[in-house]
Chain A
Amino acid sequence: MERGASGPGVPVLSCTDLRKQFGDRTAVDGVGFSIAPAETYGLLGPNGAGKTTTISMICGLLARDGGSVTVDGQPVDIGTAAAKQAIGYVPQDLAIYPELTALENLRFFGHLYGMRGPQLKRRMDEVLEIIGLTDRATDRTDAYSGGMKRRLNIGIGLLHQPKLLVLDEPTVGVDPQSRNAILASVEALGEQGMAILYTTHYMEEAERLCDRVGIIDEGKIRAEGTRRELTSMIGQRDRIELGARGDLHRAVAAVRGLDGVVDVSAHETGLSLLVVDAGRVLASVIEAVAGSDASVTNVEVVEPDLEAVFLHLTGRALRD
């Protein structure tokens, strides 16, 4: 593939002050970040935070209301072909043709990216090997399992050896086995030196895969850095995951005023708390919850992690 202007120290992706408005709703509000060569960058945020809208503007799928994007030194817009050549886009939804075989799907997208002849054939063989579909390459994809389709979905994004691979929540709705396979593939691609933009609302995925993470909520990047940098923002604080049943809103109110409790939010199965010194405050937390109209079913004290950072920054759990 033809290469652009990026090199050591020059970011593969640079986006600044991205803005997008849908009617009265601001979907993206001044988002900016960059990705260096061989870096895996995660956009971590709950559903509706603005991840997919940001990615759509980066890939030239959606017109921006403001801001700029360059990929491999080339400006990106809806009609620009040069920058798009450097991007491998893996959408959140499956984007394959069910009536075609895996080989035909790969060949079609390869042709769209200007690939031909032996180069295309060699690359198709490599990708099929990477995604583990060599034996099923000539089967129509409507006969594939969900996991196989997901793998092919990623394989198409890899085919033209892009400078920047953009994966939009690739593990949503995937069984655990396939999810592990996808994460391992992304890890391997990162180790091979590909720049990757990975969006997720799973904290564990961001922690496992990403060199740097941007925490996004309500269309804004709330914080950005390595895992160590982000967790250091909350100091010596612990996260307590409290399984509970009953009136969780009353439980939140009962816990919020306790000494040592920094943040608390309710979710489907209980409460997430950010506390100073979990060992010291745990007993009073359990007592307060039990004193409200809720009962505690289990307790887990977690080392500072990105979930705790998100809770600290937004006052809400990632799963909200």
Chain B
Amino acid sequence: MRAAGVILAKDLRARLRDRTFFIVAIIAPFGLAAIFATLLPSGSDDLDLRLGYADLDGSSTSAAFRDGPLQALVDAELATITAYDDAQAARAAVEAGDVSAVAIVPSGFGQDVELGQATAIEVVGDVDAGFSTDILRSLAEGYARELESVRLAVATVIGDTFPVPRERVAELVAGALEQPSPVSVVDVPAELRQMGAHTFYAASMAIFFLFFTAQFGVLSLLAERRGGTLPRLVAAPIPPAAIVAGKALGSFVMGISAMVVLAVASTLLLGADWGDPLGVAALIVAAVVAATGITAFITTFARTEEQAGGWNSIVAVTLAILGGAFMDLSQAPEILSRLSFLTPHAWFLQGLDEMSAPSFTYADLALPLAALLGIGIVTGAIGLWRARGLVVAR
């Protein structure tokens, strides 16, 4: 282990003198993350929704909208809701910038719903607050769908028995609204758990470039062979495994260093929120193990540094695309979403995603960590076994 440490120290010294390390490991991922986060729509990093609500109806149906989806935002500490007595005051509040968007429930809304007549919740948004308006509109649409299912349920109970007393219809509607939905689509909580843009791009660029950083260690075995220094290392009184271990440690240490610097820098300078520090540390270690394993595996099939570098680049880009490091795969076809979990990128981002949920516990990281470590251990074991063959001529 001492010899591996000596080789590691030499490699780190040489690599720190080589500016490509800083460019590939720090500057490029940080710069790209900053550019992406600036150019593309922001997520929930800056989620501070100031919404308004004007209930002109006062029915139990309109109250259910306020107490259901709107209250969920307040409970999650993602929004403040201001109530207004009339539509004019609500619209004025938007124009004045007091709130970003308001939902106006018209008078007679509950009755129209009960009778199956057309009605609408009006959403008024500030033109400069499209994200807030979109969220409020999504909530209103979701509630409308729920009401539609209630209307169908009531119609089914009533059947052809007309006329039905109005009190009976109101009773059925109220009863149906109180029943839990038989089919629940957890749409809103999923959005609330999503990482913000700054965090997503900082993390995705970090793990994308990690595959270029982690290749340095094992790749330097090929460099030692080309440079003629490998025979001299083998001639030294150290086990050949120490040479391989020193190189693998180099990949690991450089990978960890780059990831930590990026996590800290993106938090301080880009406002990214990676999540619980202990969980982030565990994810980073596991991701670096995976990246080291995969790059070691690939490198040992190459004959030259150039070949290994080319292959590693192709794999890094392919895995990043497949793993959703460049784009959100939630809207992608099912097959792509499934394939993404063959990549460390998807598991790493999934782990960070888990930590952004309000109900996060460390147990939520078990699967992402196990997947990352599993990928790293399997590919790394094969890679390091093959790397020993690069060291010892037969």
Contact = CB atoms under 8 A, between A and B. Distances in A.
Interface stretch (B27-35, B109-117, B225-233, B264-272): B225-233
Contacts of B17: 99
A172 to B, nearest CB: 13
A95 B231 contact: yes
A56 B232 CA distance: 11
B240 A84 contact: no
A84 B13 contact: no
B186 interface: no
B232 A109 contact: yes
A194 B100 CA distance: 87
A82 B227 CA distance: 26
B10 A100 contact: yes
Contact of A104 (B7, B13, B392): B13
A78 B231 CA distance: 11
Given A63-B394, A99-B14, A114 B237 contact: yes
A85 B13 CA distance: 25
A95 B394 contact: no
A78 to B, nearest CB: 5
A82 B228 CA distance: 23
Interface residues of B, number: 24
Nearest to B10: A108
Contacts of B240: 78-79
A100 B9 CA distance: 12
A85 B236 CA distance: 7
Given A56-B393, A63-B392, A112 B233 contact: yes
B231 A97 contact: no
Contact of A78 (B10, B229, B234): B234
B14 A100 contact: yes
A91 interface: yes
B234 A81 contact: no
A109 B3 CA distance: 10
B238 interface: yes
Interface string B1-17: 00100110010011001
A81 B234 CA distance: 10
Nearest to A114: B237
A94 B231 CA distance: 11
A158 interface: no
A112 B3 contact: yes
Contacts of A91: 228, 231-232
B236 A62 contact: no
Interface in A224-279: none
A84 B236 contact: yes
A94 B228 contact: yes
A78 B392 contact: yes
Interface in B206-235: 227-229, 231-235
Interface string A92-107: 0111111110001000
B305 to A, nearest CB: 15
Contacts of A81: 237-239
A87 interface: yes
A89 interface: yes
A87 B235 contact: yes
Nearest to B18: A99
Contacts of B394: 62-63
Interface in B308-338: none
A95 B18 contact: no
A93 B228 contact: yes
Contacts of A111: 6
B229 A97 contact: yes
Given A82-B237, A109-B236, A96 B229 contact: yes
A10 B225 CA distance: 35
A219 interface: no
Contact of B229 (A61, A87, A95, A114): A95
19 contacts: A61-B231, A61-B235, A63-B392, A63-B394, A78-B234, A79-B239, A87-B235, A89-B235, A93-B228, A95-B227, A95-B228, A98-B227, A100-B10, A104-B13, A108-B6, A108-B10, A112-B3, A112-B7, A112-B237
Interface of A: 56, 59-63, 78-79, 81-82, 84-85, 87, 89, 91, 93-100, 104, 108-109, 111-114, 156
Given A91-B231, A94-B227, A104-B10, 19 more contacts: A60-B235, A61-B231, A78-B234, A81-B238, A81-B239, A84-B235, A85-B237, A87-B235, A95-B229, A95-B231, A95-B232, A100-B13, A104-B13, A108-B10, A111-B6, A112-B233, A112-B237, A113-B236, A156-B232
Closest 10 CB pairs of A and B: A93-B228, A81-B237, A89-B235, A84-B237, A95-B232, A112-B236, A85-B237, A95-B228, A111-B6, A95-B229
